[in-house]
């Protein structure tokens, strides 16, 4: 801990042996993550079940949102370094995010989908049959038929009342002409029908605006709360890494609460209530930051407070100009979250351009030791693109896999598909202390793996998690369902991989970065996550399955997921082995930092 003058302070008033201000950062981040991860858990189902986007469209929107969420910290870190300071940026970001969550709570009516055959257009009725399941019906010529996805792009119109018992997928049998649709079972081949949707544009645009508020707000909040944690420790303070582990536990405690509570809120009360609960969590985070502002005095201060009061235009000072520009940035964010391909182009140009810029800065502005450390930090950050592109499948393909191909019934209770994600933060909370003790044990004996080795271990484990699910699919029953324990095992591997990489990465950035650009480098770290998030969407689009009213053929879905998970799993394992091979070279470039 340092005093306001920047000199080392005493350990009086510590919390768990760390600066007491760590508790403020811990609880602020915990409630912010409660809202962030809880909302993120239910988002893909919101897109596919409420707005009835198909898998490819939903994955594209999800990827644009999450990529921008991890891209904006690059700008937010720079603004905090140059103008606002970390503490002010955190509070402003929290305000924008809570507005976004409350905005999502106004989702409007369920999107209407139609079946079009010949020249007829028939509304599809979505019926909740309990246990987080729905059935779809269509009335044609006064006959109520159940509509179900078939194979090879066909759909089945099942005669009679249908019902929950008739939940087998349609076979690819003889195809009837659309005019012959009647009470008997009828298969409509791909191309003989259409399934258009009518979305309420007001609520759709409100959803995009709400996501944009979270995107901009997160840019101010996320890099700067982590930077503040690093500021609590003087250079060379051995508590820094364990402090980040404690902080990381706070992140995952909030994540556990959010990913347990919000899916249950969604299942019981609907999406609107669940998003409102996320807003409550974000409100708590903002209140904690405001009420403890005095305790954080001396940390995250503006670099030049006088500059913030300088008039820029028409009596508007620098501080308020930053706020105005942040709200103006909602317009491009609103556009980009709907344009997945454009987001990809911008990330490719801006993302890799930033990596190159930081390397050029290190070469031209830093001494030999600082230069090498900066280059290693950039290389390790870039390597995480592969990790996050697989790890973050939890919010897209893995949630849809849980919804469609996982038997989630536990003693008569059906676990919500989006709640399955909570296994990751639960494992983090339970295993992070063990990892911290384990690394310390190895460090004392001179056996602790270097940071590059830890990164390679993380990559291999996330790949093995997907290969484990491929094995699980070979045990699927006749309905394409696998046991929940397989998904739990995969999340365990994702978590152990994450604990080798993510908390170590946050600490690595603060230790290897030149002090004058540490906030910007924290943004570069999250920029790597942004690129990974975009790849999440590409993988999700590759794993897309045709749906009818949010329902798919589970057998076809299983085949698609098996192929996709095999490809990405082996790629991650291979890349992790490559990083292990080059780790000695990267370790030398760190010049003793670990």
**What confidence tens digit (pLDDT) does each residue in 274-329 have?**
999 999 999 999 999 999 988 888 888 898 999 998 998 888 999 999 999 999 99
Find out whether 62 and 43 touch, Cβ atoms under 8 Å. Answer: yes
pLDDT recorded at residue 514: 83
Rounded percentage of the chain residues whose pLDDT exceeds 90: 60
Which band of pLDDT confidence, cut at 50, 70 and 90, is reported for residue 166?
very low
> Which tokens belong to 72?
């904006």
d(CA 94, CA 87): 11
- pLDDT (average), residues 151-179: 57
**What's the predicted TM-score (pTM) here?**
0.86
- pLDDT (average), residues 568-577: 97
Which band of pLDDT confidence, cut at 50, 70 and 90, is reported for residue 353?
confident
Question: How far does CA 324 lie from the centroid of its chain?
Answer: 27
| Number of other residues whose CB lies within 10 A of the CB of residue 190 | 14
Question: Which residues lie closer than 8 Å to 326 by C-beta, 6 or more apart?
Answer: 92, 96, 216, 220
d(CA 283, CA 279): 6
Q: Where are the beta strands (DSSP E) in 51-106?
A: none
* DSSP reduced 3-state for 302: coil
**Residue the block writes with tokens 């094995």:** 471
Question: Which residues lie closer than 8 Å to 186 by C-beta, 6 or more apart?
Answer: 145, 156, 157, 159, 176, 180
Find out whether 187 and 260 touch, Cβ atoms under 8 Å. Answer: no
pLDDT recorded at residue 336: 95
Backbone angles phi, psi at 150, to 5 degrees: -105, -145
**Per-residue pLDDT at 581 exceeds 70:** yes
**Per-residue pLDDT at 1 exceeds 70:** no
**Per-residue pLDDT at 7 exceeds 60:** no
In the predicted model, what is the mean pLDDT of the chain? Answer: 88
Backbone angles phi, psi at 542, to 5 degrees: -65, -30
> Half-sphere exposure (CA, 13 Å, Cβ side) for 445?
8
Backbone angles phi, psi at 590, to 5 degrees: -85, -15
Find out whether 269 and 258 touch, Cβ atoms under 8 Å. Answer: no
**Per-residue pLDDT at 384 exceeds 80:** yes
Total residue count of the chain as it appears in this document: 594
- pLDDT (average), residues 167-182: 44
**Per-residue pLDDT at 475 exceeds 80:** yes
Find out whether 499 and 424 touch, Cβ atoms under 8 Å. Answer: no
pLDDT recorded at residue 505: 82
Helices (H), 445-553: 451-473, 484-512, 518-542
Backbone angles phi, psi at 195, to 5 degrees: -130, 65
b/e string for 62-76 if b means 16 or more Cβ within 10 A? bbbbbbbbbbbbbbb
pLDDT tens by residue, 111-149: 999 999 987 899 999 998 887 888 999 998 888 999 988
pLDDT recorded at residue 405: 95
d(CA 58, CA 75): 26
> Which tokens belong to 212?
């944009």
- pLDDT (average), residues 394-401: 95
d(CA 107, CA 121): 25
d(CA 374, CA 573): 26
* DSSP reduced 3-state for 67: helix
pLDDT recorded at residue 184: 62
Question: Which residues lie closer than 8 Å to 58 by C-beta, 6 or more apart?
Answer: 44, 47, 48, 396, 540
Question: Which residues lie closer than 8 Å to 543 by C-beta, 6 or more apart?
Answer: 55, 59, 397, 400, 560, 561, 564
Question: Which residues lie closer than 8 Å to 351 by C-beta, 6 or more apart?
Answer: 71, 527, 530, 531
């Amino acid at each position: 801990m340092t005093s306001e003058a920047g000199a080392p302070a005493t350990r009086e008033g510590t919390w768990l042996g760390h600066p007491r201000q760590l508790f403020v950062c811990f609880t602020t981040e915990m409630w912010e993550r409660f809202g962030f991860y809880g909302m993120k858990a239910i988002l893909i189902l919101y897109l596919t079940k409420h707005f009835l986007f198909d898998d490819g469209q939903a994955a594209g929107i999800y990827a644009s949102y999450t990529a921008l969420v991890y891209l904006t910290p690059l700008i937010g870190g720079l603004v905090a370094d140059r103008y606002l300071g970390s503490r002010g940026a955190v509070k402003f970001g929290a305000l924008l995010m809570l507005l976004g969550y409350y905005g999502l709570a106004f989702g409007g009516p369920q999107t209407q989908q139609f079946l079009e055959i010949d020249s007829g257009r028939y509304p599809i009725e979505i019926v909740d049959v309990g246990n987080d399941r729905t059935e779809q019906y269509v009335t044609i010529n006064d006959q109520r038929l159940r509509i179900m996805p078939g194979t090879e792009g066909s759909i089945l119109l099942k005669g009679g009342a249908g019902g929950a018992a008739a939940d087998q997928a349609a076979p690819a049998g003889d195809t009837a002409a659309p005019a012959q649709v009647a009470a008997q079972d009828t298969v409509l081949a791909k191309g003989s029908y259409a399934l258009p949707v009518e979305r309420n544009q007001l609520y759709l645009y409100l959803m995009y605006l709400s996501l944009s508020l979270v995107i901009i707000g997160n840019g101010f909040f996320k890099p700067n709360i982590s930077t503040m944690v690093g500021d609590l420790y003087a250079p060379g303070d051995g508590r820094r890494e364990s402090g980040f582990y404690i902080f990381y536990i706070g992140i995952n405690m909030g994540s556990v609460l959010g990913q347990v509570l919000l899916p249950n809120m969604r299942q019981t009360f609907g999406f609107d209530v669940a998003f409102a609960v996320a807003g409550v969590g974000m409100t708590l985070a903002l209140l904690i930051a405001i009420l403890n502002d005095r305790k954080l005095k001396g940390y995250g201060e503006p670099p030049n407070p006088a500059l913030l009061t300088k008039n820029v235009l028409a009596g508007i000072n620098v501080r308020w100009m930053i706020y105005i520009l942040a709200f103006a940035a909602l317009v491009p964010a609103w556009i980009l979250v709907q344009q997945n391909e454009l987001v990809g182009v911008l990330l490719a140009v801006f993302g890799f351009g930033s990596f190159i810029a930081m390397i050029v800065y290190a070469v031209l502005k830093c001494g030999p030791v600082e230069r090498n450390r900066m280059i290693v930090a950039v290389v390790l950050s870039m390597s995480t693109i592969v990790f996050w592109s697989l790890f973050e499948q939890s919010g897209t393909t893995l949630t849809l896999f849980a919804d469609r191909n996982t038997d989630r019934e536990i003693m008569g209770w059906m676990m919500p598909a989006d709640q399955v994600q909570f296994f990751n933060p639960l494992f983090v909370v339970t295993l992070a202390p063990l990892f911290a003790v384990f690394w310390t044990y190895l460090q004392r004996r001179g056996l602790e793996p270097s940071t590059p080795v830890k990164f390679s271990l993380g990559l291999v484990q996330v790949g093995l998690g997907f290969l484990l699910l491929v094995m699980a699919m070979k045990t699927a029953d006749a309905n394409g369902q696998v046991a929940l324990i397989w998904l739990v095992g995969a999340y365990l591997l994702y978590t152990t991989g994450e604990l080798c990489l993510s908390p170590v990465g946050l600490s690595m950035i603060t230790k290897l970065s030149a002090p004058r650009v540490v906030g910007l480098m924290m943004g570069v770290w999250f920029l790597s996550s942004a690129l990974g998030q975009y790849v999440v969407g590409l993988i999700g689009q590759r794993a897309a399955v045709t749906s009818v009213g949010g329902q798919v053929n589970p057998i076809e879905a299983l085949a698609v997921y098996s192929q996709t998970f095999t490809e990405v799993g082996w790629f991650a394992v291979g890349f992790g082995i490559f990083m292990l091979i080059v780790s000695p070279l990267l370790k030398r470039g760190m010049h003793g930092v670990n």
